Chains A and B, each alone.
Chain A
Amino acid sequence: MKSDKMIIPIGPQHPLLKEPIAFTLTVEGERVMEAGMRMGYVHRGIERLAQERSYVQTIHLVERVCGICSHVHATTYCQGVEALLGLEIPPRAQYLRALLCELERIHSHLLWLGVLGKNLGLDTIFMYAWRDREIVLDIMEDLSGGRVSHAINVIGGVRSDVDEAHCDEILRQLDLLTEPLARLVGLVEHERTLKARTQNVGHLSLEQIRRYCVVGPVARASGLDVDLRRDMPKAPYTDLSFKVITHTAGDVWARTLVRMQEAVESVRLCREILAQLPDGPISVKAKRRVPPGEVVSRAEAPRGELIYYIRSDGSEKPARLKIRTPTLTTLITLPEQLREVNMADVPAVLSGVDLCIACADR
């Protein structure tokens, strides 16, 4: 060995990373000693841009914070502005929003399972997960006109409606999805080589989770029983019954299980939402000027707790928009997770936390 210490850049461009972020691992032999991180490659200054756009335009800006969970960003933002306006949106719109939130959770978890499989060398699971995910994308495309960026939210409700026939069509497609999803969950639980690569890798104890304020599936996999849909329920979730999935192992395998079981739970939730879909209008007229005030709007994004702080000064443009996406909390724990890890485990650890860099950089 030339020098026992080597600096390995997992640079902005790397097959492991789907989005640009730079890790510099100092490696001794095969063991990672210390990990540095540089972010900001996809920083678009969305919080700054929002100050120059009207509330209506900011919906579409905020939808492009993250490519995977765009709907939950728009929903949280609209709920914040509606709170400022003191607007009560029709129940049907709340249910339609929740339906798309849950569909997006399934789509995000399946996408992530494919990425994990790809990074661990099991391309088959990537193909299967993304093939089954197409069913969810088709449902969302029929519903909102866009596979990923849905633009279904308006301030005061939702844009497109769902008639009876369309509901049955969605239910039929959800039935189509249940069986492959169950197979994927079985795969994650039993496949021997996948378990060999993910069990007790990238372990985070409950104490570390609380100290680093980690949120979402990563926290729930270590035993933290927090889910904003239940702990801080907004309209439709108050009368929807669902189970919060937690594990205690706290390693990449536990996180995989939590995410896949959450996806199964979300499918059941979608059915319940469609069953209880109330009738009535889908949106309410909203004024363009928002009275001065501040609001903190929280929601459960596929990766965890998402918070929007909006401050309005009475004009048409938000005075200040602060977004904190869940990936930032898991990013903080990465240097700690990567310490003392075998170099070959780095893909498992980096994929385990389900990084969404566009979210983190804003």
Chain B
Amino acid sequence: MGLRSFLYLLPEAWRTWLKRPSTVRYPFGPLELPPGFRGRVVIEPDNCRGCSLCVRDCPADALELQRVSRDEFRLIFHPERCAYCGQCELSCNFGAITLSNDFVRATTDRDTLTEILVDRKPEPESEA
């Protein structure tokens, strides 16, 4: 018992030496992400009805709806505030807003990140 407890870690260390290192080579190698990974917010503009359910439920106030009239509104997204919790995806009943797999690109200036997700203009009335 005496000697074995002195060199207790040796067998494990030797086994690890023979195996491939378990560190991921990112960013030099690919990083596998599961399908359900909550990354960047992505919008399906046509589905959006401007009901602002997502804006109300967003814990980080990252979504903002500027409404001019029933058919003219803009959904603005601030990625730097977003906590990637996926609540907007959950609250939206029309499946307009979802979270994709890629993560936000880094930037030095916060304002360049702000995105206009939906810029709905009322369709011009065809008949007079």
A and B, direct touch (CB closer than 8 Å): yes
Q: State the CA gap A196–B85 with chains docked (Å).
A: 44
Q: Point out the residues of chain A lying under 8 angstroms from B8, CB to CB.
A: 186-187, 190-192
For B57, give its contact among A56, A125, A149 (CB under 8 Å): A56
Given contacts A183-B12, A192-B8, contact A60 B59 (CB under 8 A): yes
Residue A146 at the B interface, CB < 8 A?
yes
Nearest-neighbour CB distance to chain B for A318, whole angstroms, equals: 14
Q: State the CA gap A138–B37 with chains docked (Å).
A: 11
Q: Point out the residues of chain B lying under 8 angstroms from A149, CB to CB.
A: 83, 85
Q: Is the CB of B59 within 8 A of A146?
A: no
Q: Is the CB of B36 within 8 A of A145?
A: yes
For B36, give its contact among A61, A142, A187 (CB under 8 Å): A142
Nearest-neighbour CB distance to chain A for B18, whole angstroms, equals: 15
**A13-31 contacts to B (CB < 8 Å):** none
Nearest-neighbour CB distance to chain B for A49, whole angstroms, equals: 10
Chain A 265-297 interface mask (CB, 8 Å, partner B; 1/0)? 000000000000000000000000000000000
Closest to A194 in B: B8
Interface residues of A, count at CB 8 A: 32
Q: Is the CB of A190 within 8 A of B5?
A: yes
Q: Is the CB of B5 within 8 A of A146?
A: no
Q: Point out the residues of chain A lying under 8 angstroms from B37, CB to CB.
A: 141, 145-146
Q: Point out the residues of chain B lying under 8 angstroms from A208, CB to CB.
A: none
Q: Is the CB of A57 within 8 A of B57?
A: yes
**Interface size bracket, B side:** 20 to 34
For A128, give its contact among B5, B12, B36 (CB under 8 Å): B12
Q: Is the CB of B9 within 8 A of A124?
A: yes
Q: State the CA gap A56–B85 with chains docked (Å).
A: 12
Q: Is the CB of A151 within 8 A of B85?
A: yes
Q: Point out the residues of chain B lying under 8 angstroms from A125, CB to CB.
A: 9
Closest to A124 in B: B9
Chain B 31-51 interface mask (CB, 8 Å, partner A; 1/0)? 000101110000000000000
For A159, give its contact among B4, B13, B90 (CB under 8 Å): B90
**B66-101 contacts to A (CB < 8 Å):** 83-87, 90-91, 99
Residue B6 at the A interface, CB < 8 A?
yes
Q: State the CA gap A64–B59 with chains docked (Å).
A: 11
Given contacts A151-B86, A187-B9, A192-B8, contact A142 B34 (CB under 8 A): yes
Q: Point out the residues of chain A lying under 8 angstroms from B90, CB to CB.
A: 154, 159
Q: Is the CB of B5 within 8 A of A145?
A: no
Q: Is the CB of B36 within 8 A of A151?
A: no
Q: Is the CB of B34 within 8 A of A151?
A: no
Residue A53 at the B interface, CB < 8 A?
yes
Residue A160 at the B interface, CB < 8 A?
yes
Given contacts A57-B59, A58-B59, A144-B36, 18 further A-B contacts (CB under 8 A): A53-B59, A54-B56, A54-B57, A57-B57, A60-B59, A60-B83, A61-B59, A124-B13, A131-B22, A141-B36, A149-B83, A154-B90, A160-B36, A186-B8, A187-B9, A190-B5, A191-B5, A192-B6
The chain A residues found within 8 Å of chain B, CB to CB, are: 53-54, 56-61, 63-64, 124-125, 128, 131, 134, 138, 141-142, 144-146, 149, 151, 154, 159-160, 183, 186-187, 190-192
